[in-house]
Structure 1
Amino acid sequence: MASVRRECHEPSVSTCGRNIIMAKKEPTTTATAVAAKTKTAKAVKPHLFDPLTLRGLEIRNRVWLPPMDTYSVFARDGKPTPFHYQHYVSRALGGFGMIIAEATAVSPEGRISPNDVGLWNDDQIAAWSWIVDGIRQAGAVPAIQLNHSGRKGSTGSFSIGYRDQTVPAEAGGWRTVAPSAIPFGDYATPHELNVDEIHGIVDQFRAAAERAVRAGFQAIEIHAAHGYLISEFLDPLTNERTDEYGGDLDGRMRLLIEVTDAIRSVIPDTMPLLVRISATDWAAGGWDLDQTIETARVLRGHGVDLIDVSTGGIIAGVTIPVEPGYQVPFAQQIRKRADVRTTAVGLITKAKQADKIIRRRDADAVEIGRAALRNPYWPLRAAYKLGIPAENAPYPDQYIAGAF
């Protein structure tokens, strides 16, 4: 994305039709070394490029692009632009199995920044359909993450300033909402939602899901992570309600379950439904792995097919022990103890590292975020590193002549 925030985890590609005949050369020392490594690696069959099937939908491999906000709707109408087309389709051409479009607001007030994409009206459908068609033609599965930003909305971005603060009304900002009137860091204090307003937000998720189906998306993800609205309801640090939407875990997960049921009621039975969730706050007294596992069990019973596992985002200034693959153990535990498919994300940058996660069944898919911003063709390079022949790698036919 153009600007990546920790809590969000987060060019045009052209070819020419020339037939190129290359002279054969004797292998260099480096090439010989690579071949030797590849031969040795064949003793352990890579699984990173095995297909995965969810509700009958086959996804070509286990390397997915996670949702990462780009804050690039400069017209502020929620419609994705040519930049978004280039961003997503280039990575579909690059071999990713599933492309999950960035946090897409279910209402104007549900945006993270004024420059976010949305699906709150029918006028936005056509702009998404164009992108969906490009992703599918490149062989990837297009998915979309639906979100309400809650108390972390109306914030700035690289393109408008006001970083890490609430955008004022005169600059296009709005009054934020939350389960309780508790601000995030130095942001403005949010309005505490009443029950009727909560029901209205559930309806907004339902309507956005209907539009996603009409746009041609093949999977939907609910954003329940990183301190946005649904995450705020789940978390005891941000939910001090005493009504049916607060209190114990059943009360705090009520909004998520209602949103899940609403979306499942309007999408095809054959469409996978994912939920992104933070497995821990990294903060005492807050959301933790045990609560996540119990929530995942409940979600599985409500038609959720996969838990997209991340962490953090609810409290400003929390120290997170970041290291390569630092969130993988959470995905592994949720997969094992909740008996549900999971994805792993977070500093997964190497082909062998990613493949090991799949081979060990720590997760069912891996998401490559910031590394994919540096290299849209990360999966193709990974296939080469794992010794997978080009004809078995996710190359577009037009790119085979340039295979590693």
Structure 2
Amino acid sequence: MSQENQSLSTIATGAIALADGTVFLGKGSGHVGTTVGELCFNTAVTGYQEILTDPSYADQIVLFTFPHIGNVGANPEDHEESSEAATVSARGTIFREPITPPSNWRAEDHFDAWLTRKGIVGLSSVDTRALTRLIREHGMQKCAIIHAPDGKIDTEALIKAAQAWEGLEQADLAANVSTDETFEHSEQLWDLSTGFTALENPEAHVVVIDFGVKHNILRNLSNVGLRATVVGGDASLETILALQPDGIVLSNGPGDPAATIKRVGETVKGLVESGLPILGICLGHQLLALSLGAKTKKMTQGHHGANHPVKDLATGKVEIVSMNHGFTVDVDTLPEGVEESHRSLFDGTNSGLAVAGKPIISVQHHPEASPGPQDSFYLFERFADLIRDAEGK
């Protein structure tokens, strides 16, 4: 335990314990109670509300490397979950400094109060740099986090809770955050002068298979003229094709793709064989790769942030992207006819695929940029072009 944490031991109202026995004491915030999950760090400097409502963070504790969190406050428009099933995503969050009061014209709530309502346990006044270094050196950690306003913290019980948690490998978490009901979406991206507006004259219709789809993915589809019907991850091939889509989107989502493919593999294979244009994003990218015969593997520390450089191998363009994944496609296992289209310039891991002779593309990163830069918005237009080409437009 660091000297800083020792000085806090008599006044601590929160703590995080790792499965290896490491404990950090600090100030609790948000939801009162204890929760377990996988500890990861995120390097984004803004967009904390969008990050914590991204269903891809299910069963994770998100540590922000940016020290000051809260100045934007919270509002009801910046949630990223798209269905009731996905309202609980990240289990906890960690900051260096106590939550900053809101100072933004769109803020409708204090971030601490928002965390409480969302059921997210918060922790501040800990050495986030030390925790980040630990993750970089030893990988993402099983952990338990607590907010105890009365200061009653049983660190041994926390360590045991972290050790008892099963972890993310072989966990089909996408099943927990997928919509239970089919719904239509036509809302476009937010505009400073008009806010959110609806798509009035769609060019084509796509079916989005929801493994935890982010709201901004749906908005980006609308922005390129694509009306979306969102179906649950368990939807059958027959159900999807009966909707007569012009294209298919395999969405982002949490958990181990090798576990989820056991449930949805036949459907994904059938969609590949259908000849329809397909766009895969994040988990959808991994599921597509698995259905084509490739393999995935767990990453040591994953990629989480809004400042990751990725190269589009077809154009040579380097774009800065938003990422959130702890598993990756093993590029050495790609079968003939499946080509790497994008690559991370941080560590060389795969960040995109294309299928020779088929209108199929996918990316590991998050082109919807919520939060993050908008360098990858073009991928939605590229997908729309595949649909136009397939229809001879």
* Larger fraction in helix: 1
TM-score normalised by structure 2 residue count: 0.29
The structure richer in strand per residue is 2
